[in-house]
């Protein structure tokens, strides 16, 4: 944490069209993910199986009533939680650094000083209500007030476990120069909250953000980036998911993954995504059996080919059971490893687990399956695509 003489300098952010237009698929202008009436979005791939809200609720209740559902045991100990340690200054000599703050929230410190926060939710419940809905079974590792600097926040979509009104308002209050990046259709929500430092993007669009020091002068350490202009490129990229905040606005706003490049380092944030659509199968059938020949989402190979490789991928590994129910929207660890390979990430960290019970797999199953999935793919089970404790930071020097 920073000392009294090295408090982070204030920076003013400006956002502009990217100076380097990133590569995109040949058919990008066809906007296949847009509904023809202009009132929403869709997943334009055979790998997605549509499940309407009524069907999902009916299936959930039926499994509970018939005793088929598994209710995960959240009795401690589960996932270790530690107080995070953030860099106090924008140290130009530090390596790329990522800190998991629970569920899908990562705080990433880039070598050049850029500070990015992904899908922050700092509330007890992921719900429109403070008294109802999934409640954390692991503690928050810190509060927003403990994060020294937030230059940009990337939001993947509008679900409550990824977009939190109290959290967004607190970030805006404590970091007034922070800029929010959201997929198409989400800007209106922010403006209704009184937040206007927001840019919405479609898939494959990019923006440059430039941070210029304010007139306020602070002391800085040798090797610090304080006092220098800081630049980053933010890219909105595809993923396979849905959106909604009420029963009446399903898929009215877009969902996305994000790429952030700064100081020569590139990070891909997978957001919330599925990889395949798995039909209902007998319990003893492996849904990766080649005989099934299930289609997978081609967007991830396009991301790897056109925007990769990435130094680090932040990739969801949880909330996947039952498979026929969740697979189109949520990757299981075997899907996650394929996403890791497709997107050409050199290193990976898991997320979207360890915080709220959203589905039926045991709470500690995702990291166990991740090791099996890596071994099955011929990838070292440790050091390449890992999980970490909540609040833990990992550094990537190479």
Q: Which residues are annotated as a binding site?
A: 160, 330
Nearest-10 Cα torsion for 147, 339, 233, 308: 140
Structure tokens at 360: 């039926």
CA–CA gap between residue 239 and residue 297 (Å, rounded)? 8
Those residues whose C-beta lies under 8 Å from the C-beta of residue 202, and which sit 6 or more positions away, are 31, 183, 184, 236, 254
Detail the DSSP E strand segments found in 147-291: 152-154, 179-183, 198-201, 206-213, 230-237, 257-262, 265-269
Nearest to 111, CA basis, from 130, 126, 127, 90:
90
CA–CA gap between residue 107 and residue 91 (Å, rounded)? 15
Q: Which residues, listed in sequence order, are joined to residue 182 by a DSSP beta bridge?
A: 200
């Amino acid at each position: 944490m920073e000392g009294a003489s090295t408090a982070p300098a204030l920076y003013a952010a400006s956002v502009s069209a990217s100076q380097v237009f990133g590569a995109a698929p040949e058919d990008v202008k066809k906007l296949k993910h847009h509904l023809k009436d202009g009132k929403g979005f869709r997943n334009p791939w055979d790998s997605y199986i549509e499940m309407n809200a009524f069907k999902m609720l009916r299936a959930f209740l039926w499994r509970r009533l018939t005793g088929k559902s598994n209710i995960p045991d959240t009795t401690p100990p589960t996932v270790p939680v530690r107080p995070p340690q953030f860099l106090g200054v924008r140290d130009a000599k530090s390596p790329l650094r990522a800190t998991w703050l629970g569920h899908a929230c990562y705080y990433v410190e880039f070598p050049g000083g850029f500070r990015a926060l992904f899908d922050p939710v700092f509330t007890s419940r992921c719900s429109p209500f403070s008294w109802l809905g999934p409640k954390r079974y692991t503690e928050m590792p810190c509060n927003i007030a403990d994060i020294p600097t937030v230059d940009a926040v990337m939001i993947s979509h509008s679900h409550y476990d990824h977009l939190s009104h109290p959290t967004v308002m607190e970030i805006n209050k404590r970091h007034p120069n922070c800029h929010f990046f959201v997929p198409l259709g989400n800007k209106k929500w922010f403006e209704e909250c009184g937040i206007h430092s927001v840019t919405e993007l479609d898939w494959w669009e990019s923006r440059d953000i430039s941070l210029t020091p304010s007139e306020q002068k602070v002391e800085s350490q040798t090797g610090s980036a304080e006092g220098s202009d800081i630049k980053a490129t933010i890219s909105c990229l595809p993923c396979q998911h849905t959106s909604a905040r009420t029963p009446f606005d399903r898929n009215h706003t877009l969902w996305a993954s994000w790429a952030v490049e700064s100081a020569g380092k590139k990070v891909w944030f997978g957001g919330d995504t599925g990889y395949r659509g798995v039909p209902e199968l007998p319990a003893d059938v492996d849904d990766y059996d080649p005989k099934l020949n299930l289609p997978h989402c081609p967007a991830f190979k396009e991301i790897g080919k056109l925007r990769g490789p990435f130094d680090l991928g932040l990739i969801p590994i949880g909330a996947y059971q039952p498979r026929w129910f969740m697979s189109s929207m949520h990757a299981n660890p075997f899907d996650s490893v394929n996403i890791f390979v497709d997107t050409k990430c050199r290193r990976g960290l898991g997320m979207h687990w360890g915080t709220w019970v959203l589905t039926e797999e045991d709470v500690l199953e995702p990291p166990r399956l991740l090791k099996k999935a890596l071994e099955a793919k011929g990838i070292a089970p440790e050091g390449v695509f890992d999980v970490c404790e909540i609040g833990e930071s990992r550094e990537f020097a190479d």
